[in-house]
């Protein structure tokens, strides 16, 4: 690899990206270093590690990590690799523990990653200090219950990185309907595609009526109307800076605490009737409105989406392999009937056998298959260019079908790939 690789000007232009963006394994390795090795990366939600001693496995880029909550209630994100001879110290997806013990030679680590126990220490010289061999730690911060980690100890504060996305995250979390948000389970599937094909998709409204026609056909009239946002003229996509973007499909559902006097849609009438047994009418309206989810998709560079009613998390595996998690969300301590309906709505669209995800997976794979041809041809992300107006943040804002979000993500991609290595 030459020193001036990658020539990012040749890979990313304002209106297009080059085919090697999906195809070049060397570029993928650089991305793991310069993007997933540097940025704030979404790793989990606080409800996945609710108690002292809770842990959950996750990834930052291709690297396996453990999210743990120590006895002081502090969150840690630790590389899942023994500092002795590299074996993973935990292979249980989630649970509770007091420590992590390497299965190979028995090194034991505390929940905060510190090395506590080394069998037969007399075999090491006197200069061996356990303080030097804790699990590798990442920087950790949370925002509105979402846990982010970074390998870059000098990374900017999380809230600065999220920036204009913060108000949208706060709106997204209103779908607790007055209860805290908790994860209810997740669908996981992998697609033979580059990770950026998924990154592009979260704020791509243009594909919806084409790819998700069979999902639309399974909805009742009212819901079909709601999902026909490409035929309306009130939606939009805006660049939020730092690679983030939001696609507003149903503006009337942006703030779930508003419009509470709107009539309850037909498909939620049975739920409302059930809730009325335990809740007053104001609460019923708030919970029912929250059950339906938000009206927007928020894309957080580089790996997270707050998509209508769930978290969509991507994990790059290889240049042409990406794993996707669709994490269902519900109301902690909320009504069982409401959480059941949240799960049924999630199952309807999401997952390996949902009415939406398999069609997404098919077209994403088709992008990867198609990009094997015509290596000189660009991938166009120019829809809406020249038609955008400035948003309140002074950033580009296009109609709901504009490729504004993709351009935002690729601008951040280029910025991070061009960043000089910090002097060590």
Which residues contact another protein by CB under 8 A? Answer: 93, 184-191, 211, 213-215, 217-218, 323, 328, 336, 339-340, 343-344, 346-348, 351-353, 355, 357-359, 361-363, 365, 369
In 3-state terms, what secondary structure has residue 369? helix
CA gap 320, 328 in Å, rounded = 26
Among 380, 355, 299, residue whose Cα is nearest residue 18: 380
Longest dimension (CA), the chain: 75
**Strands across the sheet with 41-45, in order?**
41-45, 146-150, 139-143
Pick between residue 219 and residue 417 the one whose CB is nearest to another protein.
Answer: 219
Please answer whether residues 218 and 342 qualify as being in contact, where contact means their C-beta atoms are separated by less than 8 angstroms.
no
Minimum Å gap between C-beta 340 and another protein is 6
Pick between residue 7 and residue 190 the one whose CB is nearest to another protein.
Answer: 190
Q: Return the H-helix or E-strand segment holding 327.
A: strand 321-331
Minimum Å gap between C-beta 241 and another protein is 32
Residue 81: how many other CB atoms lie within 10 Å: 18
Minimum Å gap between C-beta 328 and another protein is 5
Minimum Å gap between C-beta 209 and another protein is 11
Q: Specify burial of residue 47 (Cβ count, 10 A radius: 0-12, 13-18, 19+).
A: middle
Residue with tokens 């660009």: 378
Pick between residue 36 and residue 349 the one whose CB is nearest to another protein.
Answer: 349
Please answer whether residues 28 and 61 qualify as being in contact, where contact means their C-beta atoms are separated by less than 8 angstroms.
no
Please answer whether residues 304 and 313 qualify as being in contact, where contact means their C-beta atoms are separated by less than 8 angstroms.
yes
Q: Please, how many CA atoms are within 13 Å of residue 14, restricted to the half-sphere of its CB?
A: 4
Minimum Å gap between C-beta 361 and another protein is 4
Pick between residue 187 and residue 196 the one whose CB is nearest to another protein.
Answer: 187
Minimum Å gap between C-beta 313 and another protein is 12
Pick between residue 196 and residue 325 the one whose CB is nearest to another protein.
Answer: 325
Minimum Å gap between C-beta 362 and another protein is 4
CA gap 345, 328 in Å, rounded = 9
Pick between residue 84 and residue 94 the one whose CB is nearest to another protein.
Answer: 94
CA gap 29, 254 in Å, rounded = 38
Cβ within 8 Å of residue 180, ≥6 positions away = 47, 145, 331, 332, 333
CA gap 186, 42 in Å, rounded = 15
Among 171, 179, 399, residue whose Cα is nearest residue 294: 171
Pick between residue 113 and residue 356 the one whose CB is nearest to another protein.
Answer: 356
CA gap 298, 202 in Å, rounded = 7
Q: Specify burial of residue 7 (Cβ count, 10 A radius: 0-12, 13-18, 19+).
A: exposed
Pick between residue 118 and residue 223 the one whose CB is nearest to another protein.
Answer: 223
Pick between residue 8 and residue 339 the one whose CB is nearest to another protein.
Answer: 339
Minimum Å gap between C-beta 223 and another protein is 13
Please answer whether residues 220 and 266 qualify as being in contact, where contact means their C-beta atoms are separated by less than 8 angstroms.
yes
Eight-state DSSP code of residue 232: -
In 3-state terms, what secondary structure has residue 246? strand
Pick between residue 63 and residue 99 the one whose CB is nearest to another protein.
Answer: 63
Minimum Å gap between C-beta 157 and another protein is 33
Pick between residue 85 and residue 190 the one whose CB is nearest to another protein.
Answer: 190
Minimum Å gap between C-beta 214 and another protein is 4
Minimum Å gap between C-beta 374 and another protein is 19
């Amino acid at each position: 690899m030459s020193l001036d690789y990658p020539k990012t000007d040749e890979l990313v232009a304002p209106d297009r990206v080059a085919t090697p963006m999906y195809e070049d394994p060397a570029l993928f390795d650089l991305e793991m270093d310069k993007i997933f090795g540097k940025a704030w990366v979404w790793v989990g939600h606080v409800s996945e590690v609710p108690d002292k001693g809770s842990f959950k496995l996750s990834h930052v880029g291709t690297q396996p990590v453990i999210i743990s909550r120590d006895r002081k209630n502090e969150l840690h994100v630790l590389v899942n690799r023994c500092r002795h001879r590299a074996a993973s110290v935990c292979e249980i997806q989630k649970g509770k523990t007091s420590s992590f013990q390497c299965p190979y030679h028995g090194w034991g680590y505390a929940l905060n990653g510190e090395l506590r126990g080394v069998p037969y220490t007399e075999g090491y010289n006197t200069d061996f200090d356990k303080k030097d061999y804790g699990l590798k730690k990442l920087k950790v911060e949370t925002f509105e219950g979402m846990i982010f980690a970074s390998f870059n100890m000098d990374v900017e504060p999380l809230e600065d990185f999220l920036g204009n996305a913060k108000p949208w995250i706060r709106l997204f979390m209103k779908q607790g309907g007055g209860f805290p948000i908790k994860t209810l389970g997740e669908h996981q599937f992998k697609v033979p595609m580059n990770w950026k094909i998924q990154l592009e998709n979260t704020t791509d409204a243009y594909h919806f009526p084409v790819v998700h026609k069979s999902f639309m056909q399974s909805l009742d009239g009212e819901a079909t109307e709601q999902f026909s946002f490409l035929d309306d003229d009130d939606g939009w996509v805006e660049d939020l800076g730092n690679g983030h973007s939001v696609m507003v499909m149903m503006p009337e559902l942006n703030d779930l605490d508003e419009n509470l006097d709107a009539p309850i849609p037909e498909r939620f009438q049975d739920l409302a009737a059930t809730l009325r047994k335990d809740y007053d009418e104001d609460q019923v309206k708030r919970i029912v409105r929250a059950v339906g989810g938000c009206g927007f998709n928020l894309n957080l560079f580089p790996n997270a989406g707050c998509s209508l009613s769930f978290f969509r998390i991507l994990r790059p595996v290889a240049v042409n392999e990406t794993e996707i998690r669709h994490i269902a969300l519900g109301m902690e301590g909320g009504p069982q009937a409401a959480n059941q309906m949240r799960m049924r709505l999630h199952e309807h669209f999401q997952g390996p056998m949902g009415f939406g995800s398999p069609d997404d997976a098919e077209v994403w794979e088709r992008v990867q298959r198609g990009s094997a041809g015509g290596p000189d041809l660009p991938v166009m992300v120019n829809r809406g260019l020249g038609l955008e107006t400035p948003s309140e943040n002074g950033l580009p804002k296009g109609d709901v079908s504009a490729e504004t979000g993709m351009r935002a993500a690729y601008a951040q991609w280029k910025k991070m790939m061009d960043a000089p290595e910090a002097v060590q």
